Structure 1
Amino acid sequence: QEIDEHLIERYLVTAEGGNTSPIIVINKSDLGGAEEVRDKLEQRGIRCPIYLVSAKNEKPHRQLVELLNQGSTVAVTGSSGVGKSTLVNQMVGDVVLATGAVTSEGSGRHTTVRRELLLAQGGVLIDTPGLREVQIWEDLGLETVFHEIAAAATKCKFADCTHRDEPDCAVKQATTDGDIDLNRLASYLALCQELSDLTDEIDEYQRSQRRRRDARQN
């Protein structure tokens, strides 16, 4: 499966907003190209740890197992067919979850259809069904994930700069200078617009509820 940087950034924003410490695991590294993917993500500006693993390797990734040994709660999430259940089995040290094959088109089948909570190695491991999309609900993790944009934004002429059409925008200047990846900025702006649209929808819903309540009272 191809790596979707925009989807990864959605996961990261959700994780950071939930006050968790995200880790990117690139599975199936035995198929080749994993190092290039890791380098691409790092060059894009992603700063969280990135581990390369292979489900074919019977020995679990040492650093992942250490997370459980520290008594942490680890949630494994991602798209269908990326090998989450196989990874969980490795970390637990036993076959506790069923695994499935990938279709000829490269898409995964839903082997895990519900959340599974497992006690393993002194920690708690949560396996989740494959996700087709990730909805963000608040902007708490945006500045952490898009750190370079947040840093440049402090130098914009206007405090409420949207980094679109305003003059003297330090973020747009940084993209011109090559300090900020254009695709990263596009991803950031898309998430900001999505949050703005969501806020408008919530506000409209609340207004409609108030109108209904007032109508009943009258």
Structure 2
Amino acid sequence: MTFDLASLQAIGWAVDDTGQPIDASWREALQAHPQARPARVSEQHRSGYIVADAPDTAFPVESLPEWQRPRFPAEQRPGVGDWVLIEDLDTAPPRIVALLPRRSAIKRGAAGDHYRQQLIAANVDTVFVVCGLDADFNPRRIERYLLLVRGGAEPVIVLTKADQAGADDPSAVPEAEATLAELAEQGIAVRAVNAKDPASVTALAPWLGPGRTIVLVGSSGAGKSTLTNTLLGEQRMRTGEVRESDARGRHTTTHRALIPLSSGACLIDTPGMRELKPTGEEDVAENFADVEAVAANCRFRDCAHAKEPGCAVRAAIESGELDSRRFANYMKLSEEVAGAADKLAGRRAENAESKVLGKAVNKRLQDKYGRR
């Protein structure tokens, strides 16, 4: 089946010099479904999906039956940014026949005691971590976001409300200077913008080129919807005021949505996230290389950095070389990731056992009644 390649590229479809999908697994999927054509999930709702095959075209589709099963892993269902193959285009609605492998995925642990993963966005090139330079500025939250978003996408810290803070230079804001220095050491880009000012927002242009996909993450009231409206050049997303007491905002974005921009990029706006639980797949060492480097100089390999003699970490904290709050967050996140990893391993073991039991039951039925 032929399809409009230029329209697909405008919403992030990646191809090589010959016009073929850059991912070999995508090419194989298209060959396996010659009557299908690709589309991108632009909205995900409880009742189904909205997909797009061009910047100005979106329509509902029917999902695969297994995705509706209660025990089907949520992170394996399509999410905003995913690419799917659809068939029966003359019916209403068309149906999804395959989910294409993800080139990148931003996930978090879902709220609750049971282990579940929640997909935030798929096939993303850049993650804008939006944080206001007001009472909501929280270096530890930025560290937590960075831990979760390094899934094949480049993180960029977008500091909003610099105008409200009365400082053109964000390093003049209390607590921001040390955080900016830490981010610079990690090679992470930082841009301070006035989310309401189009001229100021042009600072983000290097990440908004044609075919690129960006997701906005951040707490409620950080300015994500305001920034989205400015990038769109129209007031499409609803915005709300924040409380003066703690600079917290309401959830003005209620669902994730893929929005084409005039620059040729695609933007995924997400609801504010109050809880950011690890999935157990994160690499704490990658995000805290400075802490790991100091810890490598401890006298004992299994140093808990508490009362052991020759602890380089405690010495670095006492000398001011290492921020005690950053180290405390490192320990907290390490514990959370380890706990989530144990739950993930347990769930995988249960799934493997369930598959073995299922095959054994099927074999007994076949031996007794024959193959049907």
Query: Cα offset for 1:176?
Result: 2.4
Query: Cα offset for 1:212?
Result: 9.5
Aligned to 1:27: 160
Structure number with the bigger relative contact order (C-alpha 8 A, sep ≥ 6) is 1
Q: Secondary structure at the match of 2:195?
A: coil
Which sections of structure 2, spanning at least 5 residues, go unmatched?
1-134, 361-372
Contact 1:46 1:145 survives alignment (8 Å): no
Structure with higher strand content:
2
What per-residue deviation string (whole Å, max 9, x for no partner) do you get for residues 112-132 of structure 1? 000111121121211100111
CA change 1:169–1:20 in 2 (3 A) is farther
Aligned to 2:183: 46
Structure with higher helix content:
1
* Equivalent residues in 2 for 1:67-106, closer than 5 Å: 67-69=207-209, 71-105=211-245, 106=247
Equivalent pairs counted in the alignment come to: 215
Please, what is the CA RMSD of the aligned residues?
2.9
Which has the larger Rg?
Answer: 2
Correspondent of 1:55 among 195, 198, 221: 195
Query: Cα offset for 1:145?
Result: 2.2
Amino acid at match of 1:13: L
Aligned to 1:174: 316
CA change 1:200–1:141 in 2 (3 A) is closer
Q: Secondary structure at the match of 1:196?
A: helix
Q: TM-score, normalised by structure 1?
A: 0.83
* Equivalent residues in 2 for 1:118-197, closer than 5 Å: 118-120=259-261, 121-138=263-280, 140-197=282-339
Which sections of structure 1, spanning at least 5 residues, go unmatched?
none
Amino acid at match of 2:160: N
Q: Matches of 2:355 and 2:289 in 1, distance apart?
A: 43
Q: Secondary structure at the match of 1:114?
A: coil
Q: TM-score, normalised by structure 2?
A: 0.51
Q: Secondary structure at the match of 2:154?
A: coil
Q: Matches of 1:90 and 1:74 in 2, distance apart?
A: 15
CA change 1:182–1:70 in 2 (3 A) is farther
Aligned to 1:198: 340
Higher alpha-carbon deviation: 90-99 or 6-15? 90-99
Aligned to 2:63: none
Contact 2:208 2:214 survives alignment (8 Å): yes
